[in-house]
Chain A
Amino acid sequence: MNGQLNWFKGGLLLGAAFLLAVAFVKPIGVSTQFVIADGIVWNLFSGSVVQKDSESKSGYSSPNAYLNKSGGKYAKNVANPINYSFVFVIAMVIGALLSSRLGGPKPTIADRSAPEVWRQRFGKNPTLRYVTVFFAGVLVLFGARLAGGCTSGHMMSGMMQTSLSGYLFAAGAFAAAVPAAVLVYKRK
């Protein structure tokens, strides 16, 4: 597609992003921020989701076991949305927008509802695509949280550090994803 980098240049750029992040701060990760976003919204409606707690390692705690995990570090980020990891993820969208505006690949109007491979297989009705992708999203983020990371944090950052978990995650993900993609979309 027009504006898309080849594997060599694209891989260099992607590799630079992962290396710079660990050089300056810490390895890249994304999926935790879906939990933080949920927590921030939840916290708007209920005042007791996260609270200051001098007993806890992070200084915050939560009655929810997940937000309270690891010394309340998620609870702390829910209470303080302007933190490194959350801002990083918001900035990713800005970066993608910059790339798109500065000569990056651009989808057609039809592509914006469903990719061509989907339209060929399931037709042009966008509702079917939207409903399916919604449930796929549920599965992806539930899976990512169970795994403790996603394609960015586990696979890319993990394998870069030669972390065993990165290899286990990639094996699990591709062992499921390749047969699923072949089954759903066929090879022809």
Chain B
Amino acid sequence: MNIVLAIILGIIFGFALQRVGATNPQNIINMLRLKDLHLMKAIFFAIGISSALLFLLMTAGVINAGHLSVKSSYIGVIVGGALLGLGFAVAGYCPGTGLTALADGRKDALFFIGGGLLGALIYTMVYGSIKGSWLFNTISGGKVMLATGSDKFQALLPVIPGTLLAVTIGIVFMLIAWKLPDEI
């Protein structure tokens, strides 16, 4: 059953990435050099609406809050994000879009994936010697979320009702998506 869901949900996600134009490195590069914000708008809108609906549906009991999985916050998240950002800007691919770009018949994506497998392997090899370093110092307690809504993860802003906060952030994201210009 889990494997059937993996196939269905994976197909939906891959379909969405291709159809929104995220498998095209031209769109990624033009977003990052602030020329064409079409993808940026789509990303803001996607995060905004999915976040608002997620918290509303959890409150309504439709979505099990146990499905949430909040990742830890530590220095390496920012450093790693920055390293990823450099490669992302040059290649125009991130892990998910590089992989799905294969379906477009993009040959450069094949080289990106080859490099990605090597990068992941290097990390697998060096992890043992860096795992005790400052890179893994947690920020604000590690696995935290802004809004309340899960028993597993602590909220940074527990005074505000979680659904209200998440829906508000979601609406702000959707407004940003709407207001951002397509092209600069």
Residues in A lying within 8 Å of B, measured CB to CB: 1, 3-8, 10-28, 30-31, 34-35, 37-39, 64-67, 69, 82, 84-85, 87-100, 104-107, 111-118, 126, 129-166, 168-178, 180-182, 184-187
Give every chain B residue within 8 A of A186 (Cβ-Cβ).
33
The answer to the question of B47 belonging to the interface, with a C-beta cut-off of 8 Å to chain A, is: yes
Give every chain B residue within 8 A of A152 (Cβ-Cβ).
94-96
Interface string of B44-57 (1 = CB under 8 A from A): 11111111011001
| Contact of A23 with B73 in the complex, beta carbons under 8 Å | no
| Contact of B107 with A161 in the complex, beta carbons under 8 Å | no
| Contact of B99 with A93 in the complex, beta carbons under 8 Å | yes
Query: 14 A-B Cβ contacts within 8 A?
Result: A1-B21, A12-B45, A12-B46, A14-B20, A66-B123, A96-B15, A115-B24, A134-B111, A136-B91, A148-B80, A157-B69, A159-B51, A162-B166, A180-B89
Give every chain B residue within 8 A of A69 (Cβ-Cβ).
127
Identify B17's interface contact among A91, A92, A134, CB under 8 A.
Answer: A92
Number of A-B contacts (CB under 8 A): 504
Given known contacts A164-B139, A177-B89, A94 and B11 CB-to-CB distance under 8 angstroms? yes
Given known contacts A139-B119, A175-B85, A87 and B95 CB-to-CB distance under 8 angstroms? no
| Contact of B50 with A4 in the complex, beta carbons under 8 Å | no
Give every chain B residue within 8 A of A90 (Cβ-Cβ).
10
| Contact of A144 with B70 in the complex, beta carbons under 8 Å | no
The DSSP consensus for interface residues of chain B is: helix
Residues in B lying within 8 Å of A, measured CB to CB: 2-3, 5-26, 29-30, 32-35, 38-39, 41-51, 53-54, 57, 62-63, 67-74, 76-109, 111-125, 127-128, 131, 135, 139-140, 143-147, 149, 153, 156, 165-166, 169, 177, 182
In the bound complex, CA of A78 to CA of B35 (Å): 41
Given known contacts A107-B24, A168-B73, A187-B34, A139 and B16 CB-to-CB distance under 8 angstroms? no
| Contact of A178 with B32 in the complex, beta carbons under 8 Å | yes
| Contact of A145 with B112 in the complex, beta carbons under 8 Å | no
Given known contacts A23-B67, A150-B95, A173 and B81 CB-to-CB distance under 8 angstroms? yes
Identify which of A87, A116, A137 gathers the most chain B CB atoms within 10 Å of its CB. A137
Give every chain A residue within 8 A of B108 (Cβ-Cβ).
112-114, 126, 129-130, 133
| Contact of B93 with A1 in the complex, beta carbons under 8 Å | no
Q: How far is the CB of A77 from chain B (nearest CB, A)?
A: 12
| Contact of B116 with A7 in the complex, beta carbons under 8 Å | no
Identify which of A15, A24, A116 gathers the most chain B CB atoms within 10 Å of its CB. A15
